[in-house]
C-alpha cells in the first residue's frame, strides 16, 4: 500500500524539546508547593529507614550470585518504599528485609556443609 504523504493520521512523536518543557513545568509545580516542616521531617525519617534497609539487604545479599542480586534489589527497594513508615524502628526494617530475603531463599544463615 503506497503512502499518500498525508502525515495527519499519525501522531507526532515527542521531541527532546517537548521532554525538556515537560520536566521544567513539573519542577515549577513541585517547587511552588510548600511542604509542612513536620511532614518533611516524617518523610525524611522514612527515607532514612528505607536507605538503612537497603544497606542491610546489600550486606546480606553479598553471598548471592550477581544475577540474583540484580533481580532482588529492586524488589527489596519497592517493598521497603511501600511498607516502611516514619514510626518504624530499625529492627522492624531489618525484620522486613529478612522476610523478603527469606521469601527469595536468600537467608542469612551459613550454608550447611555437604553430608
- Kindly report, residue by residue over 1-19, the tens digit of the pLDDT: 555 555 556 677 767 667 6
What CA–CA distances, in Å, run from 33 to 46, 47, 96? Answer: 20, 20, 33
For residue 94, pLDDT over 90 is answered with yes
pTM of the shown model: 0.61
Q: What is the dihedral of CA 8, 11, 17, 23, to 10 degrees?
A: 140
Amino acid at each position: 500500500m503506497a503512502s499518500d504523504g498525508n502525515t495527519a493520521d499519525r501522531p507526532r512523536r515527542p521531541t527532546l524539546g517537548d521532554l525538556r518543557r515537560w520536566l521544567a513545568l513539573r519542577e515549577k509545580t513541585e517547587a511552588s508547593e510548600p511542604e509542612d516542616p513536620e511532614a518533611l521531617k516524617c518523610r525524611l525519617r522514612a527515607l532514612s529507614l528505607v536507605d538503612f534497609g537497603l544497606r542491610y539487604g546489600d550486606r546480606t545479599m553479598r553471598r548471592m550470585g550477581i544475577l540474583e542480586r540484580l533481580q532482588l534489589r529492586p524488589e527489596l527497594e519497592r517493598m521497603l518504599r511501600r511498607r516502611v513508615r516514619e514510626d518504624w524502628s530499625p529492627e522492624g526494617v531489618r525484620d522486613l528485609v529478612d522476610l523478603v530475603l527469606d521469601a527469595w531463599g536468600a537467608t542469612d544463615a551459613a550454608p550447611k556443609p555437604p553430608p
